[in-house]
Amino acid sequence: MEEELKNKIVEYARLMEEKGFVVGTSGNISVRDGDVVAITPTSIDYHVMKPEDVVLVDLGGRLVEGERNPSSEVKMHLSIYNSRKDVRAVVHTHSRNASALAALGLSIPPILDETVNYFGGEIECTKYGMPGSSDLAKNVIEALGNRNGVLLSHHGALACGKDLKSAFENAERLERLAEIFIIASSIGKPESIPEESIDMEKDIFEMMNI
């Protein structure tokens, strides 16, 4: 079971690099399996990363298995699993359009239905926290709430989901929504969808997300 999990993590980590969501060793991916979290190691290029480089830690951050050190953002990943029982996978990227908005401290408002259907509402930008810090982990929990994505102030983006496939798709969607928000804002002033639609779609999101 854990071998298969490690293979999948390496496969998606490479895909994250191929899609241009990260450069070098930036970004990280984790998956929760019961009380164990499998996470990408720190400082290893994705194209040479092997399944055995993936590190297993418990929910308190103690090493369970692995020769490598876990990602420097392990606190951020663990704080999400410790506060959100529904989240089984987390994907952190430095994708371009999301990072541009994060550099400005802007959130992505629900200007498309997708924002509510897949993320549960506005994709908020966190308060600033140094990479790898407990502050960043705390700020992410605050801005994430019960939704599936956040922008990390002056840093990048984070998406989560009920499994690795949905967390990765949410990372792709988040980047796409950031791009559409930038395009729409360059032409006019995009408005959020009506409040009653947001409420109805949030109810559906909560049912689907369990």
Cβ atoms within 10 Å of 189's Cβ, excluding its own: 7
Minimum distance, C-beta of residue 34 to Zn ion, in the bound complex (Å): 26
- The single residue of 17, 73, 122, 175 carrying the catalytic annotation is 73
Q: Is 149 helix (H, G, I), strand (E, B) or coil?
A: strand
138 vs 202, which CB is nearer to Zn ion?
138
Residues 112-151, one symbol each (x = binds Zn ion by CB under 5 A, - = not), give ----------------------------------------
Instruction: Report the C-alpha gap between 15 and 210 in whole angstroms.
Output: 26
DSSP string spanning 115-166?
A: HHHHHSS-BPBPPP--TT-HHHHHHHHHHHTTSSEEEETTTEEEEEESSHHH
Minimum distance, C-beta of residue 162 to Zn ion, in the bound complex (Å): 23
Q: Is 18 helix (H, G, I), strand (E, B) or coil?
A: helix
Minimum distance, C-beta of residue 43 to Zn ion, in the bound complex (Å): 13
37 vs 112, which CB is nearer to Zn ion?
37
Chain residue whose CB lies nearest Zn ion: 156
Residue 201's alpha-carbon distances to 120, 174, 198, 207, in angstroms, are 8, 17, 5, 10
How many residues sit close enough to Zn ion to count as binding (CB under 5 A)?
A: 1
Query: Which of the residues 56 through 115 are near Zn ion (CB under 5 A)?
Result: none
Query: Which of the residues 151 through 170 are near Zn ion (CB under 5 A)?
Result: 156
Instruction: Report the C-alpha gap between 163 and 148 in whole angstroms.
Output: 12
> Is 73 one of the annotated active-site residues of the chain?
yes
27 vs 121, which CB is nearer to Zn ion?
27
Catalytic site positions? 73
- Give the residues lining the site for Zn ion (CB under 5 A): 156
